[in-house]
Amino acid sequence: MIMGGICTRACAFCNVATGMPNALDRDEPASVGRAVAKMGLSHVVITSVDRDDLPDGGAQHFVETIRAIRASAPGTTIEILTPDFLRKPGALETVVAARPDVFNHNLETVPSNYLTVRPGARYFHSIRLLQRVKELDPTIFTKSGIMVGLGEERNEVLQLMDDLRTADVDFLTIGQYLQPTRKHHAVIRYVTPEEFKSFETVGYTKGFLVVASSPLTRSSHHAGEDFEKLKAARLARPSVAA
């Protein structure tokens, strides 16, 4: 996670500290690049807190981190898990131009939950962000994820899948929400393994290249293995941009 440990938003599911973040560490991208090379990572996921205090939402810092990894570890594939860069003109275009291998932006939950679960974000802005990535560079894999157990209805999850496929998103993750502390949003229910399997099956029928759906699925869990699945699934589907 880059850009510090203090987030400018206060989502009801997240246990990251909220407040005014510290100034960016300008040496951080180079440090990340060196660390990736030293650990010999074949695939790396770079994420961040929300940085609404910055004019570009931290977009350039993502770019510099991608470039530093490519310089220090050219064989490493890069997945980024970004904020929504809300109302930051040109931020998304800047990041896409750095050509990460996977662009991940999580919806987190269905739109009816946004006011209580993700109040600082807008559902259709996030959908449009993912769609715009594909418009700018169809070769970049796009990915999004949600948590279930927050009071959503099944039909809402299926509609969310349709919205993501309309945006040409390649990869969907679905996992069980777990309450970090008593002050966070309560778990409304625990979704059964059978329901997770059903979501996976439906997701594939709707056209996702990869669907990871289980109680313990997390956005970046097994990301390297799933990247290999993405590449194989694209090759097996000639109509998808290569």
Binding-site residue ranges: 7, 11, 14, 220
Nearest to 95 by CA among 128, 127, 132: 132
Please report, for the chain, how many H helices and E strands are present, in that order.
Answer: 8, 8
For residues 146 and 150, give the distance between their C-alpha atoms in angstroms, rounded to a whole number.
10
Provide φ and ψ at 83, rounded to 5°. Answer: -70, -175
For residues 18 and 33, give the distance between their C-alpha atoms in angstroms, rounded to a whole number.
27
For residues 117 and 149, give the distance between their C-alpha atoms in angstroms, rounded to a whole number.
12
User: For residue 134, how many other CB atoms are within 10 A of its CB?
Assistant: 19
Query: Under 8 Å CB-to-CB from 152, ≥6 apart: which residues?
Result: 109, 110, 112, 113
DSSP 5: S
Say how many Å lie between the first and final Cα of the chain, rounded: 29
Residues contributing to the annotated binding site for [4Fe-4S] cluster? 7, 11, 14, 220
Burial 65-93 (b: 16+ CB within 10 A, else e): bbebbbebbeebbbbbbbbbbbebeebbe
Tokens of 142: 């796009």
Tokens of 31: 């440090």
